[in-house]
Chain A
Amino acid sequence: QTVVTQEPSLTVSPGGTVTLTCASSTGAVTSGYYPNWFQQKPGQAPRALIHNTNNKYSWTPARFSGSLLGGKAALTLSGVQPEDEAEYYCLLNCGGPWVFGGGTKLTVL
């Protein structure tokens, strides 16, 4: 089964910008993988942020954006807020089955 890899942890200062990435063991991630991004805080269910690479939901803050970058899916947070500290997961459609990445723990410090 495809392995989806994310940075285990990242640290960013308040007001800064950070990019999280999502790679596939089978090769470059394209829009055909329909990348999704989720935010999860302790004790809570995941909250969807981005679908189909770069599409936001009505509830997604404007500072979150999705893209493809260097063969990976990417989630960029611009103007990071303290409340953005959380675990972030990507999700890829790998030719049928959906596969989550291992998650990135984002610390705002």
Chain B
Amino acid sequence: QVQLQESGPGLVKPSGTLSLACAVAGESVSSNYWWSWVRQPPGRGLECIGQILHTGSTNYNPSLKSRVTISVDKSKNQFSLNLSSVTAADTAVYYCARNFDTWGQGTMVTVSS
């Protein structure tokens, strides 16, 4: 059974870069799935950040595209999210998911000085 676990700093300074990793257990990131990042600001709805296929093909939310990079690390069997130039509006619970059918538990990231 596949399991996903997000990890990374819980606090990021404004204008800095938010970096998260999603460790995948029970499945290879080289498998033919879309690996996704989704976020949820406190008290608000879900927002899709983007996805990556094992081939490296990506799909990003147009409103975030200029600041987002999603990559796969096959050696560590994980995929990562980098979000640059963050502001308080990027404060949210960040989830990773496989094909949207299996989700990590989420990790809270606060942007504050």
Interface residue B55 (Cβ < 8 Å from any Cβ of A)? no
Interface 0/1 of A1-24, CB less than 8 Å to B: 100000000000000000000000
Q: What is the CA–CA distance of A99 and B47 in the complex, to the nearest angstrom?
A: 7
Q: Is the CB of B46 within 8 A of A97?
A: no
Q: Is the CB of B106 within 8 A of A98?
A: no
Chain A residues with Cβ under 8 A from B102's Cβ?
Answer: 48
Which listed residue (A36, A51, A57, A103) contacts B45, Cβ 8 A? A103
When C-beta atoms are compared, the residue in chain B nearest to A34 turns out to be B100
Q: Which of A73-105 contact B (CB under 8 A)?
A: 89, 91, 96-103
Q: What is the CA–CA distance of A89 and B61 in the complex, to the nearest angstrom?
A: 17
Interface residue B62 (Cβ < 8 Å from any Cβ of A)? yes
Chain A residues with Cβ under 8 A from B46's Cβ?
Answer: 38, 40, 46, 89, 91, 100, 103
Chain A interface secondary structure, helix, strand, loop or mixed?
strand
Q: Is the CB of A45 within 8 A of B106?
A: yes
Interface residue B88 (Cβ < 8 Å from any Cβ of A)? no
Q: Is the CB of A100 within 8 A of B48?
A: yes
Residue in A36, A47, A48, A57 with the greatest tally of chain B CB atoms within 10 Å: A48
Name the distance in Å between B13's Cβ and chain A's nearest Cβ.
27
Size of interface on A: residues with Cβ below 8 Å to B: 20
When C-beta atoms are compared, the residue in chain A nearest to B93 turns out to be A45
Q: Is the CB of B47 within 8 A of A100?
A: yes
Chain A residues with Cβ under 8 A from B38's Cβ?
Answer: 46, 100
Q: Is the CB of B48 within 8 A of A99?
A: yes
Name the distance in Å between B107's Cβ and chain A's nearest Cβ.
11
Q: Is the CB of A45 within 8 A of B100?
A: no
